[in-house]
Structure 1
């Protein structure tokens, strides 16, 4: 079902009609593409075995995230999470992602951001928050993002 390249380091599961993250993803996957599937949820512990540097989950039907779902992804540098059905983010959901450099979070249903939600993303350079229903931002939302080069807030 998923295609594996470069000695198992790249796993492409894009547009496979998946409703969950496949269990057969190689442990040493560095780049994991799960875009354009039918996933509605991510179970707790789904990323306990596979810890990629790049994770793409856009164009799914994810409506909620369990607390701590990304906690094991401490080496993650890129997270693409746009075009899902999220209406809110759990507090601290990105706190362990201190190496993250790129975060795309655009979602038409997301109406607010958690207070301090980006505070620990000290290496973040690119943040995409376009196409949301944001009417205001938490005070100091980007104050700790000293390496930020690009911030997308259009269509809010």
Structure 2
């Protein structure tokens, strides 16, 4: 199952455990205000081939094919983006699989807007002015797997989401609360992107993610002051960048032992309690850049599979010979292929070469560029 990460193309997958991660800085600031429909079409076709949907019998096409005025309709794909629409068009072909309505002026999703679209796979509503979704609006969409509602004006998560939904992007709205059992029954949900919403820790009600087996969750650019509790323990990627987190306490990561990638950059983290990283032994990539750390976090040498560590733009003034690599060399299962320490007051000429004895290549270490 594909799990989109931080790429606007929506197709990037988690690496397999045995594959090294590339040393590159992910763009954690924004996912853009448009969806790459071509990539989504490719993903839809791959999905159809994998689950046999390509051979599924759909509703027979109408005798006289229809297409909403101004839209482009071809091969069960209806593109109505950037047309200044104020409502969802009423004459969408019933065999539509991908409906693109991004970049319009839609303010409300009404009860019967998607009536008859039983075969819809993906719905793109990015960059509209939607503030209201009728609680029964998604009832006809029994097979829909992708829903994109980012860059709108929603105050809450829509009710009665489609039961087959695998990916929900609701980035950049006005959501403050994720109520208990908000996603209950969505057993196939794999990826939720809900960054840039004014969500506080108190806004994540107990049981909000009950029943989910997520791989990917992003709550960046919110108002979190700590790592949330009771998120799905199945998570492989958790991105909490650009919040107000000040510390990582001992129990904060206890239930997230399956994490491969953890994003905590652009916070105000000063302290990481000793032993707190013990619970994420499968971690491959750790983002702690742009924080207030004064030392390299304890526990990195014991993380056997850790390959990439972002520590740039902190207050680290000393790097010890055992900060990254274990004393017993055989304990480290994979070499680092990226350690960033630039924009720190580290006198790099004083760092002993043996400090990076478990790094794959000298080019994987980044020093210098400290701004006084």
Shift of 1:126: 1.0
**Residue in structure 1 matching 2:351, options 115, 133, 137:** 137
Give the Cα separation in 2 of the matches to 1:63 and 1:102. 20
Separation of aligned partners in 1, 2:319 and 2:281 = 21
Which contiguous aligned blocks of 4+ residues in structure 1 show a shift greater than 6 angstroms? Answer: none
Q: For residue 336 of structure 2, what is the aligned residue in structure 1?
A: 124
Query: What is the aligned-residue RMSD (CA, Å)?
Result: 2.1
Cα deviation, residue 144, structure 1: 2.8
Q: What is the 5 A alignment of 1:30-45? A: 30-45=236-251
Q: 1:113 aligns with which of 316, 319, 331?
A: 319
Q: Deviations over 1:89-132 (max 9, x none)?
A: 35x42122110111111133111123311113542111111110
Give, in whole Å, the separation in 2 of the partners of 1:148 and 1:22: 36
* In structure 2, distance between residues paired with 1:78 and 1:60: 17
| Larger Rg belongs to | 2
Query: Which moves more between the two structures, 49-58 or 137-146?
Result: 137-146
How far is 1:72 from its partner? 1.4
TM-score scaled by length of structure 2: 0.39
Residues 57-136 of structure 1 correspond to what in structure 2 (within 5 A)? 57-90=264-297, 92-120=298-326, 122-135=334-347, 136=350
Alignment partners' CA distance in 1, 2:308 and 2:341 = 11
CA contact (8 A) 2:336 2:358 kept: no
Are 1:128 and 1:152, in contact at CA under 8 Å, matched by a contact in 2?
yes
Q: Deviations over 1:13-60 (max 9, x none)?
A: 101110011113111000000100101111112111012110010001
Where 2:354 maps in the other structure, the secondary structure is coil
State TM-score, norm by structure 1. Answer: 0.88
SS at 1:83's partner residue?
Answer: coil
Name 2:214's counterpart in structure 1: 8
Question: Does structure 2 retain, via aligned residues, the 8 Å contact 1:59–1:84?
Answer: yes
SS state of the match for residue 302, structure 2? coil
1:55 maps to 2:274: no
* Secondary structure of the corresponding residue to residue 141 of structure 1: helix
After alignment, is 47-56 or 146-155 more displaced?
146-155
Kept in 2, the 8 Å contact 1:124–1:148? The answer is no
Provide the residue aligned with 2:171 in structure 1: none
SS in 2 for 1:70: helix
* CA distance in 1: counterparts of 2:240 and 2:247, whole angstroms: 13
SS at match of 2:358: coil
Give the number of aligned pairs. 154
Q: How far, CA to CA, are the matches of 2:237 and 2:361 in structure 1?
A: 23
Contact 1:64 1:89 in 2 (8 A): no
Structure 1 unmatched ranges of 5 or more: none
